[in-house]
Structure 1
């Protein structure tokens, strides 16, 4: 049994703590049941189901810490693991950044778990694959996709009286459609907590349509273009930007949030005033855990408000060093959007490029957040409010900061990878060269 109820998890954690002879002890317990199906070349290639469970015991004497892990939860195995962690702690060097475990905390109720997703059957997975493969085959397209669903739990307790528990479910789906003449490619991704919000047939149809539309692409000159970025095209760039909202790297002069001569950009306007980004573990469309790995409660937090940096994340150690309250790093990212649909944005574009997806993104300059990468799976030229024809893929060099300062239009939000990201229309996006990849 990989999924434990709150009561069952607490009993196991309390048992582990009862064996402890260390100054402090923290125990983490987790488990998951997950099923999957994979298909390629219009044929199911693999399908499976697995369950896992794991316990991590951390013991400390002063600033010396030892860790032991196990996946067998007999009394003897747990007692042996606790003893091993204590022996390792006595041998370990001192950790100058060690923080003692927190005491009891209060957490909001998590809203990530759906019985509908936990009860997904092999027949359901097979039906999703069938409704992706058959329409592709009928249109002379080859499908390659992967569906993974899971039910998970995590719990932690420590010798200072803290106890936390969370249950969640998730479904992830991606599919690539390639035309059989090798000239067109389409792609789509979906993720939900509640399977009732997922429509694999509709998602596959979008990827098929992108593949058919992107056949026989034409080359246009690289340069600066107005672009319409679908959420999958901007989500990773925005995620990379979000990684710089860390107080320590900013204070130490190692990130975009560092100011020349010292200090951080907290309180400064860095992007267009229409940009508002926050995190909220209780958002109904992108729920997330309400506590983190340190046992800290996670609440709604503004990060960018009207283009201004409102908060930076402080670990418990760095908060102590700076004499401020800790600010947990966000569990999700929510960027406020507008009312414009993708169709509205296209109609309002005289000349531009529609980008389905960016991939193979790599850092060029961490101080300016300059990144490079490639477009993929459907790139289209827009002229006079209509998609005129597919175009060859580009390599780009761009910073999300510059991108968000060149914002023209914010569109409707879409969930992607546990975040909410809007469609965006941006001017002067820099394409540096052409790519022959489809």
Structure 2
């Protein structure tokens, strides 16, 4: 059992300390099945079991950190752990004191375990392959338990364990035309998967029509939750960071410094209670169930890491070192998703956005590309696929005066990132109808 192993590991680390030394550690582990698909066939199946431990040794205001890969067996790992502590001890001698060091010393132990309710990955794969017959499907399935743990020499123990799946796939037509879809969660629902796949097939049929191009300019647009998620995700580039707001590097700095507002419909929060990420962070601080960031268009909060808290003499709210959201939620609106095309009338249905970046960070201006199934709509009906376009527009416009409405229904999207390890980040978002979105060459 991974939790029992972690408890034993934490206890052993306590025996390695000398004098006034303290330690804190963060465990990130997983037991994941990965299956990669291409041309509707299995191309790369595999299983990954990995355990990474980030260990910090602290003595007064001096601290040193190392990340090590473990076997998961204390008999095999003891020597490596003891050696890591010894190496960190040697480093401490040459390190200066850190005036902004802050870590939890009050003990708040927690446990959150969601037992696996998933079928065997082979059963999921069989359903995917059966549905994909006659289509060109490319994608990846990641499934299995993910573990996070925190421990320190004060006796605090925090454990987070969930078992989930994430299926990210595209139905390919030709050239740059494809329909991209994701399905993720704790429970595999065959009917829900079939419905998503059927919707993707319907969009694939539309992609077979002759694509159209439009002139640069401002167009009425509908952003699906996936597309809106790309825009909201850019706020993790220092947007809601307290440090970035104070140093005026945040793209939302005008909201604090000048009182600029977004639409009254926009209410954004870090919703740890409703997300997938653990309710504790790498310094041992517990995250509150929710941190309001924007309420009815007004910037009302930020994410404060322990270092920022120490530097500015304020309280931390459990943010990680990067002060980014890991359990993002945007409140829904009043627009039924079934009425989206009718309300859009004539304009662009944007399924996905890609390659986003800031074109003017100081003024919250973004640029990026449309991709996959983006359609031209006339009179509330999809007419044709749209050739790739670049947009360049301001957050203060898209989510401000040009925002016509948010959908009543919201979609939970789990981060598909598996680079190095499976992500636990998630977003819960509606779709957005925008009066004018600026597209350029």
Work out which of the residue numbers 343, 355, 371 in structure 2 matches 1:348.
Answer: 343
Gap change, CA 1:390 and 1:343, over 3 Å in 2: farther
SS in structure 2 opposite 1:236? helix
Q: Give the match for residue 147 of structure 1.
A: 141
Mind listing any 5+ residue stretches in structure 1 that lack a counterpart?
Answer: 434-438
Q: TM-score, normalised by structure 1?
A: 0.88
Q: Structure 2 unaligned runs (5+)?
A: 320-324, 415-425
Alignment partner for residue 83 of structure 2, among 80, 84, 100? 80
**TM superposition shift of 1:106:** 5.5
Structure 1 residue aligned with 2:156? 162
Q: What RMSD in Å do the two structures reach over aligned CA positions? A: 2.3
- What displacement does 1:383 show? 1.7
Deviation at 1:273, TM superposition (A): 0.7
Q: Partners in 2 of 1:250 and 1:162 — Cα distance? A: 32
Match of 1:413 in 2: 410
The whole-number CA distance in structure 2 between the counterparts of 1:20 and 1:183 is: 57
Q: Note the C-alpha offset of 1:169.
A: 2.0
* 2:431 aligned partner: 423
Over 3 Å counting, the alpha-carbon distance change for 1:254 and 1:339 in structure 2 is closer
Structure 1 contact 228–353 (Cα < 8 Å) conserved: yes
Match of 1:241 in 2: 235
SS at match of 2:344: coil
- The separation in 1 between residues aligned to 2:326 and 2:386, in whole angstroms, is 37
CA distance in 2, matches of 1:52, 1:29: 10
Tell me the equivalent position of 2:417: none
Q: Secondary structure at the match of 1:333?
A: strand
1:37 aligned residue (21, 35, 56): 35
Partner of 2:305 in structure 1?
Answer: 315
Q: Does 1:12 align with 2:9?
A: yes
TM-fit CA distance, 1:351: 1.6
How far off is 1:397 after superposition?
0.5
Paired residues of 1:35 and 1:49 also in contact (CA < 8 A)? yes
Report if the CA contact (8 A) 1:17-1:27 is conserved. no
Shift of 1:193: 3.0
| CA deviation after TM superposition for structure 1 residue 267, in Å | 10
**TM-score, length-scaled by structure 2:** 0.87
How many pairs does the alignment contain? 414
Q: Following the alignment from structure 1 to structure 2, what is the Cα–Cα distance between the partners of residues 336 and 287?
A: 18
* Alpha-carbon distance in 1 for matches of 2:176, 2:25: 53
Aligned match of 1:23: 21
Which residue of structure 1 lines up, in the alignment, with residue 419 of structure 2? none
Match of 1:436 in 2: none
Distance 1:55 1:392, change over 3 A: closer
Partner SS, residue 292 of structure 1 = coil
The aligned residue for residue 423 of structure 2 is none
